[in-house]
């Protein structure tokens, strides 16, 4: 989600991030898919200009022999998700487990680390696993905003690594998300090379190399960038899954299907939806791509409009769940944040930074999605 609006009630310290004081009101590029109110109908929009934006191991113990289930979800046998599914791969056009069986992972995404740093800790990861029963988390490392990775890489990297290492300790999967909206190839290549060297031996880790290209990056550009980052990753890690976005906020998976990456087998393509904006036209596109044998993962989604605001459309949201579950499309709900009045924030303003949230500390969206995760927790 391209959402450069400062969180209204985040506890991010402006003293710690002084540059924010000067730029807070300038950051509203907003508008992922969504800031355009014209894109809220269900017709497939034409996105040709900016004013019409469419929307847009247990470390080391995951042998194939330990993989006994393909259902995803929690631990009915007491095993962690990584113990059950092991090293992920792509098989027959789907994200698959160590046995080559399709797997559906269900997870929760964090809000931008530069705006919600307080939730980037092991307590929150442990709570999301223990209470919400997630298989997967996605720390979102902000790249371009003031105070984010390009300005302060050490602080950003430390936050992401805290979540990655907590996920490894919990035996769940984790997507390292380069939460950018523009191309920064040299910086991304260096970062992912370092991450692959540190974590490439852990089956827990997936790499998402470009959160959401906008409508000013072409698929050939994104593809070339991804191939470069993948090459850097593969110098250290031969096999962990790499997630690649597509133009128009990860919606042009049709362009991907016409010209997929062929230099690496373990690539999965991200598709993002916000059910209040993105309806049947985008599901039809996803279905066509899946039928063509292109593996998809929904690495961001929620029930609201693409702006993150507005009422949840539970009917459309359920239709998305039905599509994802029927096709073994793993998915992430977005996001762990506490912005007042924001529909997609799963936390009420000021919710504790160490998890342990009761229902009064969850938003309507938070309560709903927790229930969805728990319904899969067999």
Helices of type H across the chain? 19-23, 81-85, 122-130, 153-170, 185-199, 219-234, 247-250, 253-258, 280-291, 314-326, 364-375
Least CB distance from residue 195 to Mg ion, whole Å? 11
Binding range to Mg ion, per CB under 5 A, among 71-79, 129-137, 235-243, 334-342: 235-243
Q: Closer CB to Mg ion, residue 40 or residue 240?
A: 240
User: Residue 239 interacts with Mg ion (CB under 5 A)?
Assistant: yes
User: Residue 145 interacts with Mg ion (CB under 5 A)?
Assistant: no
Least CB distance from residue 236 to Mg ion, whole Å? 9
User: Residue 86 interacts with Mg ion (CB under 5 A)?
Assistant: no
Among 212, 45, 64, 204, smallest CA distance to 134 is for 204
User: Residue 276 interacts with Mg ion (CB under 5 A)?
Assistant: no
Q: Find the catalytic residue in 208, 212, 217, 316.
A: 212
State which of residues 170, 217, 237, 264 lies at the interface with Mg ion (CB under 5 A): 237
Only one residue has tokens 């790249």, namely: 143
Only one residue has tokens 């004013």, namely: 51
Least CB distance from residue 230 to Mg ion, whole Å? 13
Q: Is the peptide bond before 177 cis (omega within 30 degrees of 0)?
A: no
Binding range to Mg ion, per CB under 5 A, among 28-36, 165-173, 230-238, 304-312: 230-238
- Cβ atoms of 160 and 200 closer than 8 Å: no
Binding range to Mg ion, per CB under 5 A, among 23-31, 91-99, 197-205, 258-266: 197-205
Least CB distance from residue 240 to Mg ion, whole Å? 4
Q: What is each CA distance from 277 to 2, 131, 243, 321, 366, in whole angstroms?
A: 14, 30, 23, 15, 19
Q: Closer CB to Mg ion, residue 125 or residue 205?
A: 205
- Percentages helix, strand, coil for the chain (3-state, rounded to 5) are 35, 15, 50
Only one residue has tokens 């850097």, namely: 232
User: Residue 366 interacts with Mg ion (CB under 5 A)?
Assistant: no
Least CB distance from residue 139 to Mg ion, whole Å? 19
Asked about 144 being catalytic, the answer comes back as no
Q: Find the catalytic residue in 208, 300, 316, 342.
A: 300
* Distance (Å, whole) CA 32 – CA 29: 8
Asked about 208 being catalytic, the answer comes back as no
State which of residues 189, 240, 246, 363 lies at the interface with Mg ion (CB under 5 A): 240
* Distance (Å, whole) CA 230 – CA 316: 34
Least CB distance from residue 289 to Mg ion, whole Å? 26
Q: Closer CB to Mg ion, residue 111 or residue 200?
A: 200
Q: Closer CB to Mg ion, residue 100 or residue 280?
A: 100
DSSP state of 65: G
Only one residue has tokens 């009422």, namely: 311
Total residues contacting Mg ion by CB under 5 A comes to 4
Using DSSP bridges, classify how beta strands 94-96 and 89-91 pair: parallel, antiparallel or unpaired. antiparallel
User: Residue 264 interacts with Mg ion (CB under 5 A)?
Assistant: no
Binding range to Mg ion, per CB under 5 A, among 135-143, 221-229, 237-245, 309-317: 237-245
State which of residues 34, 117, 200, 355 lies at the interface with Mg ion (CB under 5 A): 200
DSSP state of 90: E
Where is 301: in which H helix or E strand?
strand 296-302
User: Residue 57 interacts with Mg ion (CB under 5 A)?
Assistant: no
Query: Which residues sit at the interface with Mg ion, rule CB under 5 A?
Result: 200, 237, 239-240
Which residue numbers are catalytic?
A: 212, 300
């Amino acid at each position: 989600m391209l959402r450069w609006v400062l969180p209204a009630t985040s506890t991010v310290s402006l003293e710690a991030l002084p540059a924010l004081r000067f730029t807070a009101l300038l950051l509203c590029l907003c508008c992922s898919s969504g800031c355009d109110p014209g894109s809220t109908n269900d017709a497939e929009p034409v996105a040709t200009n900016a004013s019409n934006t469419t929307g847009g191991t247990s470390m080391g113990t995951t042998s194939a022999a330990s993989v006994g289930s393909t259902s995803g979800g929690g631990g009915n046998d007491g095993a962690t998700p990584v113990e059950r599914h092991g090293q992920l791969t792509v098989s027959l056009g789907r994200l698959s487990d160590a046995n080559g069986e399709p797997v559906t992972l269900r997870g929760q995404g964090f809000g931008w680390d530069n705006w919600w740093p307080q939730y980037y800790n092991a307590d929150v990861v442990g709570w999301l696993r223990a209470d919400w029963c997630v298989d997967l988390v996605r720390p979102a490392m902000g790249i371009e905003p003031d105070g984010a990775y390009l300005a302060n890489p050490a602080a950003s990297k430390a936050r992401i690594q805290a979540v990655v290492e907590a996920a490894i300790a919990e035996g769940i999967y984790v997507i390292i998300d380069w939460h950018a909206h523009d191309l920064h190839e040299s910086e991304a290549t260096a970062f992912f090379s370092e991450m692959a060297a540190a974590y490439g031996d852990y089956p827990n880790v997936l790499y998402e190399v470009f959160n959401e290209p906008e409508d000013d990056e072409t698929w050939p550009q994104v593809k070339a960038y991804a191939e470069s980052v993948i090459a850097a990753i593969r110098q250290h890690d031969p096999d962990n899954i790499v997630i690649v976005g597509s133009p128009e906020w990860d919606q042009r998976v049709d362009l991907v299907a016409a010209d997929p990456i062929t230099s690496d087998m373990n690539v999965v393509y991200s598709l993002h939806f916000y059910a209040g904006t993105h309806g049947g036209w985008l599901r039809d596109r996803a279905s066509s791509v899946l039928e063509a044998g292109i593996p998809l993962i929904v690495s961001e989604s929620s029930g609201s409009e693409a702006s993150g605001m507005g009422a949840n459309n539970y009917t459309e949201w359920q239709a998305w769940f039905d599509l994802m579950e029927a096709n073994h499309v793993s998915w992430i709900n977005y996001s762990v944040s506490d912005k007042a009045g924001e529909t997609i924030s799963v936390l009420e303003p000021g919710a504790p930074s160490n998890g342990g949230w009761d229902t009064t500390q969850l938003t309507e969206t938070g309560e709903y999605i927790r229930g969805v995760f728990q319904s899969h927790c067999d």
